[in-house]
Amino acid sequence: MKHRMVVLVALVLAYGAVPLLLGSMDYVMSLIIAALTIGGVALAWALLGNLGGLVSFGHAAFFGVGAYTSAILVVDHHWPVLLAMVAGGVGAAVASVATMPALRLRGPYFALAILAYGHIFRILAVEATSLTGGAAGMLSIPGFPTLLGINLASKTGAYALILTIVLLFAWLYGLIRRSTYGLALRAMHDSELATRVVGVPSTHLKAAMLVISAFMTGVVGAFNAHQINFLDPEYAFASSWTVLPIAAAIFGGYRTVWGPVLGALVVFLVDQLVFKELMPSGHQLVFGVLLGGMVILGPHGLLPLLGRWSKKEASHAGA
């Protein structure tokens, strides 16, 4: 009951208070939208890491494929934007099927094979000039429509849209985690061999997580394309679409559902508002320090760390 109240209050704050208080500040709203975009990818990355047990260095590939799929469908085939975004997710999911042979590789090899795929997709996007416009990119990609009287192309509208996308994904993530599949996936963590012995098709489950993670990343990529109305391969497949979500997920705690999203908000906003001001070039250094620091000091991320603290506080209060 108490839990429900917290969720309700958070929803009211997220949908109501944030646009009301900050809606007039365009710059802050763009930052929050960008942070949620990264949060969406971070959530997808963490789903693969937590449930699938796979570390990916190539989520930029799914992001870029999603963005291009959606943009091409809207520009060349005049699909409605929101439908094309879903198709962008499907495109990324299809792309992830191409990476599936990598699933039989052990941990680090998988991570690096996916990295290789990321590069291949970027080069393909540059070379497929007739489809993607090549290195010059695609200009004036249509933005979001007006839905139920809300202009999604406005800052507040785009915020509501990405917030909804991230919330839906988090809900889906939670659903998978609580299902029997989630149980099997968690069991795989402890011992993949033992899990296979009792009849769990571990590779199939991992493949499913990869597809879902790619789909989510693709939708977020598509959202980004229609929000900034521009795409080029260097941007759509930029390594920062991999680096930032990993930093966010590791910082927030990739074993939790909300950690990556909160991590993205904190990491991105602090980076943009503080570190970018302090050091205009090379401020990504902070992400590196953050990744290293978290791995050494708190491998489970901030959210579980906070949870432990609050529990300690509570037990102190009780005593």
Partner 1 sequence: MLELILQALYSGLLAGGYYAMIALGLALVFGTMRIINLAHGELVLLAAYVAFEMERSFGWTPLASIPVALVVVGLTALVIYLLIGRIRQDRELNSLILTFGIAIVLTNLILMIWSADIRSTSNSWFMDGVVLGDTLFSMRGEVIFCVIGVLLLAATYWWLNHTWQGRALRAVASNRDAAKLMGVNPARIEALSFLVSGVLATFAGVAVYTASVVFPAVGHNLTIKAFVITVLAGMGSVPGVLLGAVLIGVGETLTTTLAKPSLQELTGMVIFLLILFLRPSGLFGRKGMVKK
* Strand 150-151 to 146-147 pairing: antiparallel
Nearer to partner 1, 10 or 98 (CB): 98
Nearer to partner 1, 274 or 314 (CB): 274
Nearer to partner 1, 149 or 282 (CB): 282
Instruction: Give the interface with partner 1 as residue ranges (CB under 8 A).
Output: 55, 57, 101-102, 104-109, 111-113, 115-117, 119-120, 123, 126-127, 239, 243, 246, 250, 279, 281-285, 287-293, 295-296, 299
- The two three-digit tokens of residue 174, written as one number: 């939670």
Burial category of 240 from C-beta neighbours within 10 Å (exposed 0-12, middle 13-18, buried 19 and up): middle
Name the minimum Å distance from CB 124 to partner 1: 8
In the three-class reduction of DSSP (H, G, I as helix; E, B as strand; rest coil), residue 292 is classed as helix
Name the minimum Å distance from CB 53 to partner 1: 9
Q: Which residue has the tokens 């809207």?
A: 74
Nearer to partner 1, 25 or 295 (CB): 295
CA 273/CA 107 separation, integer angstroms: 35
Nearer to partner 1, 1 or 296 (CB): 296
Name the minimum Å distance from CB 282 to partner 1: 4
Burial 124-149 (b: 16+ CB within 10 A, else e): bbbeeeeebbeeebbeebbbbeeeee
Name the minimum Å distance from CB 30 to partner 1: 24
Nearer to partner 1, 80 or 292 (CB): 292
Name the minimum Å distance from CB 113 to partner 1: 6
Name the minimum Å distance from CB 69 to partner 1: 21
CA 203/CA 104 separation, integer angstroms: 8
Q: Which long-range contacts (CB under 8 A, 24 or more apart) does 272-277 make?
A: 272/31, 272/34, 273/31
